Structure 1
């Protein structure tokens, strides 16, 4: 396990699982039942693209423990993320542990053309994570996580209202659905940040306050989906 990137909003951990654990998890993800992302509700951050996005059922750890049938290895991963060892605990977003929150986890498969719009997560969440579970990922296959360089913007008057940072009315609403345009202006004014490739066996931790997106998977990926276990850290008073 190696901490590759550390900022106030972002931590990237490579080789999170040992080789045997990762191989076992990556294999198990191929046999989970999946359903289309928008089959039960419109997940607005994914837009309405015809590109394939599938998701599994959800495992949870912390205040609530649950593991759907066939998802024992995903459940074990969520357990590891919910209750990190001491070397990683200090790098978690403030207040995030399995003892102080419910940690969710489900697998999301993104096919060619699928991505995620610019957004920031709901205020009720403590943070989010993504773990890349595909066995390989090419550098030209897309699917990079882009994170806005908000550290430099802290305290600056970029919005005309004493430097307060904009938020959408709902954390999962993309930039085309904001009511006043302030978030779009905020992102354009900063205009740079960090990209994180979808390297296998990589864990990415995000606070709920950082603007981020995922670039579309390119045709170079062929029939290899971007395979990620994604989840949220939900406080005792929050909702999933």
Structure 2
């Protein structure tokens, strides 16, 4: 384990058997282009074409009492644990680690109300540009499911120096030529990198600018395979519910 004020790293997060089951599940997952029907605002056009799976969530308390009239758990765009899949043991590991990470992620039920994530496949040529997560999130996690990785294949997680924390707010949907991130990140111009080592779990505190380095062509058919997501603050859970309510036809709302 390694930890500082910005992130924590846990190697060999799953048992060998659970890790193998996770990779088998990953290879049999139905992925969709990350951009879907529109360009996602946390990617740039130069970031290539990552692929994503469905939203998976874990909440420490029943969610039904939190829902407004007319909204059911089944209508939310997320699948809740237990899923009966190889993802469940990973959520168990994360939960066991969280009491020792309150300085980094905050406290369950106070700073955050649940965990949500999805599978990501980054093929050669794909990446994610510098960004900071939304304000309604209280930190993030990345679990690396790829069974092998070469140090020349790229795909590193970069985290900027702590002096840039909370200095890179989310900008417009498309960052065409916006130089604010360059101004902020070049004040110090250094930080940390974390390689996508197999069976590694990384927790990242809120407000830290980070990016995914481009996967090199040398990776061939290998992908940077991860299950990544967020610790959702109360405001984030409310936003998820209200976004779903807004998507429903007006006659179905109550």
Q: How does 1:115-130 map to 2 (within 5 A)?
A: 115-130=127-142
Residue 135 of structure 1, aligned match among 124, 127, 147: 147
Please state how far the C-alpha of 1:24 moved relative to its aligned partner.
Answer: 1.0
Residue 101 of structure 2, aligned match among 91, 110, 115: 91
Equivalent residue, structure 1, for 2:29:
32
SS in 1 for 2:42: helix
Residues 68, 6 of structure 1: alpha-carbon distance in 2 compared, 3 angstrom cutoff: closer
Please state how far the C-alpha of 1:168 moved relative to its aligned partner.
Answer: 2.5
Residues 50, 235 of structure 1: alpha-carbon distance in 2 compared, 3 angstrom cutoff: closer
Residue 122 of structure 2, aligned match among 96, 110, 113: 110
* Higher normalized strand content (fraction of residues): 1
Query: Runs of 5+ in structure 2 lacking a partner?
Result: 64-77, 241-254
Please state how far the C-alpha of 1:41 moved relative to its aligned partner.
Answer: 3.7
Partner deviation per Cα, 1:205-238 (whole Å, 9 max, x = no partner):
1112101111100011100111010001101222
Partner deviation per Cα, 1:55-106 (whole Å, 9 max, x = no partner):
000110015593499872124423432x224xx5323524254784210121
The answer to whether the 8 A contact 1:118-1:174 is kept is no
2-structure distance, mates of 1:166, 1:69: 37
Equivalent residue, structure 2, for 1:51:
48
2-structure distance, mates of 1:52, 1:214: 13
2-structure distance, mates of 1:186, 1:228: 28
**Is 1:72 equivalent to 2:85 in the alignment?**
yes
* More off after superposition, 71-80 vs 137-146: 71-80
SS in 1 for 2:186: helix
The answer to whether the 8 A contact 1:132-1:202 is kept is yes
2-structure distance, mates of 1:68, 1:91: 22
The answer to whether the 8 A contact 1:104-1:232 is kept is yes
Residues 57, 94 of structure 1: alpha-carbon distance in 2 compared, 3 angstrom cutoff: closer
Please state how far the C-alpha of 1:29 moved relative to its aligned partner.
Answer: 0.7
Equivalent residue, structure 2, for 1:9:
6
RMSD (Å) for aligned C-alpha atoms: 2.7
